Amino acid sequence: MKEYKICLLPGDGIGPEIIAEGVKVLDAVGAKYDTAFEYTEASIGGCAIDAYGTALPDSTLEAAKASDAVLLAAVGGPKWDTTDPSKPRPEQGLLGIRKGLELYTNLRPVQIFSALAGASTLKPEVIAGVDLMMVRELTGGVYFGRRERFYDEEGAGVNGARGQRAYDTMEYREYEIERIARQAFEAARKRRGKVTSVDKANVLESSRLWREIVHAIHDADYPDVELEDILVDNCAMQLITRPADFDVMVTENMFGDILSDEAAQITGSLGMLASASLGDGTALYEPSHGSAPDIAGRGIANPLAQILSVEMMLRYSFAMQEGADDIRRAVTEVLDAGWRTGDIADADTPADKTVGTARMGSLVVERL
Ligand code: NAD
């Protein structure tokens, strides 16, 4: 029997509710394929701030490093919202664990489940056949660059003589671009063989370096993959006018943050999209959505994005392709049979087919 250690990070809001369904599914796949998953649970985000005064306690990072994979739900909530730079914030937990595990690649598949095609705000003919993989650089760029806020005589504000000034720096090193480019080309080889590299090379120096390195890696090692460049503003438009034309899209951290939420919306439900964050060691899997504080504690959150993040874990960390395929098939069958959580239900969904978090998880498990 194979054994894997999984570090569970439920976090805040709906996190504990949806991660329980992820565990149910993992256990069911484990039982089917003679694999034991052993769990340790640790704190991250707002609940960690309450208990330890920091969004990422050292013990959490250690538990994550000692595991074969990390399953995260979501962090954050109004209780911890602050603009005071001296106060801890839940997202510091996310940024910290990405940095601590050196998770420099974020993979977000965007696929349409045909049963949910009507949930998209785009026309059916526009979304038909959408199947793209967003590859986002995760540990560099403006989210990690030098930043400062200070008083500046030149910047006098509306409130008085002394104005404030702030800057953030978008910085990339050659090796950071090279390794994410390789991940994108490798992913494209397993898919339809096309990479779209997104930048702002007409304005930003870091983007000109990005484009140069992506092309150098392509020409040297991946000439068989088709490569196109696109400016980020144009990309934001093309994503909603011709989303089915994209295969793998690779971009830096902040552009990827924004574009991946836009791409997620193509499907019509954030509650359906999973993501994987990979480096060279322990990887982390999580839903693309946040902690949904507006519906927390009511047992109505959609657990499918969390369950599909378990599918990615099986695929990328444990090479359990059959188990991963089983999960995708089970989720597709549940949706085809008409079962919906509130966020993906529509006017045609009968009341007896609208289910809560735990029931949705059980419906998937029954089909495994
Ligand atoms: P959100 O994704 O939490 O919620 C947006 C909307 O989608 C809400 O109406 C919510 O009810 C709904 N929703 C999200 N996931 C759902 C699910 N599984 N089932 C049913 N409905 C779902 O985004 P937000 O409201 O902008 O942020 C809420 C908190 O989450 C904030 O504190 C934010 O910082 C945090 N956040 C965390 C992450 C993360 O942990 N990776 C990502 C984004 C936002």
One DSSP character per residue, 278-333 reads E-SS-EEEEESS---GGGTTTT----HHHHHHHHHHHHHTS--HHHHHHHHHHHHH
pLDDT at 281: 93
- Is residue 193, in this structure, part of any structural domain at all? yes
Nearest CA to ligand 1 atom 27: 290
Options 104, 143, 222, 285, the catalytic residue: 143
Is 336 one of the annotated active-site residues of the chain? no
For residues 291 and 11, the answer to whether their CB atoms sit within 8 Å is yes
Determine if ligand 1 sits within 6 Å of the CB of residue 288: no
Q: Are residues 203 and 182 in the same domain?
A: yes
**pTM metric for this prediction:** 0.89
Is 233 one of the annotated active-site residues of the chain? yes
Q: Which residue range forms the structural domain that includes residue 288?
A: 1-103+273-368
For ligand 1, pick from 71, 270, 277, 341 the residue to mutate: most ligand atoms within 8 Å of CB. Answer: 270
pLDDT at 348: 87
Determine if ligand 1 sits within 6 Å of the CB of residue 295: yes
Nearest CA to ligand 1 atom 26: 290
User: Rounded to whole angstroms, what are the CA distances from 3 to 14, 31, 67, 71, 284?
Assistant: 28, 12, 11, 16, 18
Is 99 one of the annotated active-site residues of the chain? no
Q: Which pLDDT tens digits describe the chain residue by residue (368 residues)?
A: 999 999 999 999 999 999 999 999 999 999 999 999 999 999 999 999 999 999 999 999 999 999 999 999 999 999 999 888 889 999 999 999 998 999 999 999 998 888 888 888 899 899 988 999 999 999 999 998 999 988 877 766 666 556 888 999 999 999 999 999 999 999 999 899 999 999 999 999 999 999 999 999 999 999 999 999 999 999 999 999 999 999 999 999 999 999 998 998 888 777 789 999 999 899 999 998 999 999 999 999 999 999 999 999 999 999 999 999 999 999 999 999 999 999 999 888 999 999 999 999 999 999 99
Looking at the structure of the chain, the number of domains it has is 2
Domain boundary at 243, 267, 291, which?
267
Q: Are residues 286 and 323 in the same domain?
A: yes
pLDDT at 161: 59
Is 245 one of the annotated active-site residues of the chain? no
Atom of ligand 1 nearest to the CA of 293: 28
Ligand 1 centroid–CA 293 distance in Å is 7
Q: Are residues 31 and 94 in the same domain?
A: yes
Q: Are residues 47 and 178 in the same domain?
A: no
Domain boundary at 267, 284, 312, which?
267
pLDDT at 278: 94
- Is residue 342, in this structure, part of any structural domain at all? yes
Options 5, 27, 257, 316, the catalytic residue: 257
Determine if ligand 1 sits within 6 Å of the CB of residue 213: no
Query: In three state form, how does the secondary structure of 74-127 look?
Result: ECCCHHHCCCCCCCCCCHHHHHHHHHHCCCCEEEEEEECCHHHHHHCCCCHHHH
- Is residue 261, in this structure, part of any structural domain at all? yes
